[in-house]
Structure 1
Amino acid sequence: MAVYTEVSDEDLAGFLAAYDIGEPTSFKGIAEGVENSNFLLHTTRGRYILTLYEKRVDPADLPFFIALMRHLAGRGVACPTPVASRAGDCLGTLAGRPAAIITFLDGVWPRRPSVEHCAALGAGLARFHAAGVDFSMERPNALGQPAWRPLFERSRERADEVSPGLAAEIDAALAALAATWPQALPRGVIHADLFPDNAFFLGTRLSGIIDFYFACTDALAYDVAICLNAWCFEPDRSFNVTKARALIAAYRSVRPLSAEEAAAIPVLARGAALRFLLTRLHDWLRVPPGALVTPKDPMEYLHKLRFHQQVADLGGYGVDS
C-alpha cells in the first residue's frame, strides 16, 4: 500500500481542527499511487482525499500544483479542488510532512481502456491544455529531455541486471533523441503523467483527472505522446491503432495539432517511452525498505520504445497527418 507516513488519531484531529469540513467518521490509506501517502477521509460533511507529500516531491513545487488545480477547476476542468482552511491556506503540515485536503471525485479508473475511454481521454486532455493557456505560473519539467542522461547515469552500472544489453540500448536511444528532440513546439502546462489510473470515468464518460504532481511547462504535444504510450498498448504489448486514432481525433476536435506538432509525435512518443523506462529502471533497482509498493516493470517501456522507433509519421499510428 502506498502509505509511507502513518498518521495518528491525535495528529489527524489536530490537523482537521483548522478546517470547516465536519468531524471525521472514517480514515484509511489508499493502496494506489507511488509518490505520496494518500488517505480517503470521510467526515460528517462528505468525502475527501488527504495527501501527505513525501520526500520525492519538492515542497517548493507545491504552490504550483495547488494553484493549477484551483485554476483548472475554475475553468470547468473536472479535477480535485484543494480545500482551504479557515485561515485560507490550502497547504498545512501533518506528521512532519506538507499536507493538503482535496475534494473527492466520483468514478473509477479503467483497468482495460476501451476505444471510447481513449476518445474521452483525448478530448479531456485537450480541454486541460486549453484551460491552462492563461495559467500564469510555470514549472520546468524536471524529467524533461535534458534530465534523461543524468537520470540514466544513476542506474547505468546495474541496468544489464534487468536485461543484458539494456545499458547500450538506452545509450543509443538517448543519443538519437538528443539529436532530434523538437525545440520550438507550442508550450503550456501539461499533466505529464496521465495514465489510466489518473483518469476517472463513469461508464465511458471522463469524470475527472487526478494527480497533478508531475505537471509542468513543456510541449503540449508531448502530453499527447505520453498518452499514446499509456493508453494505446494492449496487455500483450501490441499497439492498438484504433485507440490511437480515437484519442488523437478527439484531441484534435478540441485543440487542433499544428503541422509541426503532428510531425513530431513519433519522436515525442519515443522520448515519453524512454522517460518512463528510465524512471521505472531507477525505481526497480531501488525499492524503499519496508515500502509495500511493487515497482513497475521497466521492460514494458523498452518494448514501447522499440515500437516507436519503427514509426516515421502519424500514419504509423493509424492517424492521418
Structure 2
Amino acid sequence: MAVYTQVSAEELAALLARYEGVGALVSAKGIAEGVENSNYLVDTSNARFILTLYEKRVDAADLPFFIALLDHLAGAGAPVPRAIADRQGMQIQTVAGRPACLIEFLPGVSVSRPTAVQAAAAGRALGTMHAALADFTGDRANSLGIDGWHALAARCGDDLDAIRPGLRRIVADELAWLDTHWPRDLPRSVVHADLFPDNVLMLGDAVSGVIDFYFACTEIRAWDLAVTHAAWCFDNDGAGYHPALGAALVGGYRGSFGLTDAERAAFPALARGACLRFLLTRAWDWLNTPADALVTRKDPIAFLRRLEFYAQTPDLLA
C-alpha cells in the first residue's frame, strides 16, 4: 500500500454519500506501506474501511476480475475483503481521477517476524484458497511471468548496474537459466502471486485476513507457494534463511491442499523465478519511484540474496 494520489476531505465525503449505511466521514489517513496503489484508512461514524485508488500498474480493465475473485473467495468462507457496492450496485468508483474501490476493513496485524506457527497458518490459508479457487472461472494472464521478466529487465537495462555493479549480467544469466529450466506442465490455477507477510492479517497465530490481490493471475499453482516461501522464510534483507519457517509453511500448505512430487521437484526453479520477479519489480521501482511519493522503496538486492540461496539449494523440498 502507498499514497501517490492525494484525496481531499470533500472528495471523500462525496464518495461516502454514494453508499447506504456507510456513515459520515470522521477521519482518513494515507497508508505508506507498499508500492502499488494509493490507500487510505477511512473511519466513518459507522465503521472503518480501506479506500484504494488504482495507480498506473493496475489496469482498470482488470478490476472486474479482481472483484469477482474476492467475491468468490468470500462466498467460500475465505477471510478476504470485498469491494462494497454503492446504492447503484457499483463497486468501482472514480476518485481524484483514478478508478477506486471502498473496501471492507478486516481486523488483524501483519507480522514482521513470523513464528513457525504463524507460517504454518499462512500455508494453510494459501492451500485453502487454492482449494476454493478450483471452481473459479475467471482468468487473467500473468503480466509478470517469465516473458514479463525479460521485458522488465530490458527496460531497466544498464541502470541495474547502478543498483549493484554487475547486476544486469546476473539478471541476464538467471533469465537464460530459467528459460531452460522453467516447468511447463504443472497444474495451473488463479493464484494470489504476492502473499508477503504484509498481505496476511493475523490475530495471534490465526489468519484473520488475506489482502491485496492485485497481482492475482492464472499461473502455475505451485509458483504461488514458491512466492510465499521466498517472502516468509528469510530475514528481510534476504541474508538469512529460516528452515523452521520453511518447513512450517510448506507443511501447512500440504496439509490443507497437497503438493505433488512434480511440484516438489520443480520448487527450486519456481522459487528462483519468484525471486527474479521481485528483484526486477523492486529494481524498477527503486529506479523510477517519484521523489515526492509517500511510499517506502524496497531493496531489490534482498531478493538477489534469496535467489542465490535457492540456486545453491536444489533439493530444498526433497
TM-score range, shorter chain: over 0.9
Q: CA deviation at 1:12?
A: 1.7
Instruction: Give me the TM-score of the superposition, normalised by structure 1.
Output: 0.96
SS across alignment from 1:108: coil
Please list the CA deviations of residues 155-190 of structure 1 after superposition, one character each: whole Å capped at 9, or x if unmatched. Answer: 121111111211111111000001110111111111
Match of 2:53 in 1: 52
Runs of 4+ in 1 over 4 A off after TM superposition: none
Match of 1:249 in 2: 251
Instruction: Give me the TM-score of the superposition, normalised by structure 2.
Output: 0.96
CA RMSD between the two structures: 1.3
Letter in 2 for 1:209: V
SS across alignment from 1:155: helix
Letter in 2 for 1:14: A
SS across alignment from 2:247: helix
Match of 2:303 in 1: 301
Distance 1:97 1:287 in 2: 18
Quickly say closer, same or farther: Cα 1:52–1:265, change in 2 above 3 A: same
Distance 2:29 2:235 in 1: 32
Please list the CA deviations of residues 15-36 of structure 1 after superposition, one character each: whole Å capped at 9, or x if unmatched. Answer: 2221011212222211222111
Letter in 1 for 2:249: L
SS across alignment from 1:49: strand
Q: CA deviation at 1:118?
A: 0.6
Say if 2:261 is the partner of 1:267.
no
Match of 2:17 in 1: 17
Distance 1:171 1:289 in 2: 29
SS across alignment from 2:99: strand
| Paired residues for 1:42-191 under 5 Å | 42-191=43-192
Letter in 2 for 1:294: T
Please list the CA deviations of residues 176-228 of structure 1 after superposition, one character each: whole Å capped at 9, or x if unmatched. Answer: 00111011111111111110110000111111100010111111100110011
Q: Tell me which moved more, 235-244 or 181-190.
A: 235-244
Distance 2:174 2:114 in 1: 29
Q: CA deviation at 1:234?
A: 2.3
Please list the CA deviations of residues 92-121 of structure 1 after superposition, one character each: whole Å capped at 9, or x if unmatched. Answer: 111111111111010000011111111000
SS across alignment from 1:304: helix
SS across alignment from 1:88: coil
SS across alignment from 1:154: helix
Match of 1:8 in 2: 8
SS across alignment from 2:288: coil
Q: CA deviation at 1:235?
A: 4.4
Distance 2:33 2:78 in 1: 23
Distance 1:86 1:157 in 2: 51
| Paired residues for 1:184-263 under 5 Å | 184-235=185-236, 237-263=239-265
SS across alignment from 2:79: coil
SS across alignment from 1:285: helix
Distance 2:188 2:259 in 1: 12
Letter in 1 for 2:265: A
Letter in 2 for 1:2: A
SS across alignment from 2:194: coil
Determine if contact 2:32/2:294 at 8 Å carries over to the other structure: no
Q: CA deviation at 1:258?
A: 1.2
**Identity of aligned pairs, percent?**
52
Please list the CA deviations of residues 257-303 of structure 1 after superposition, one character each: whole Å capped at 9, or x if unmatched. Answer: 11111111010000001111111111111121411323111111111
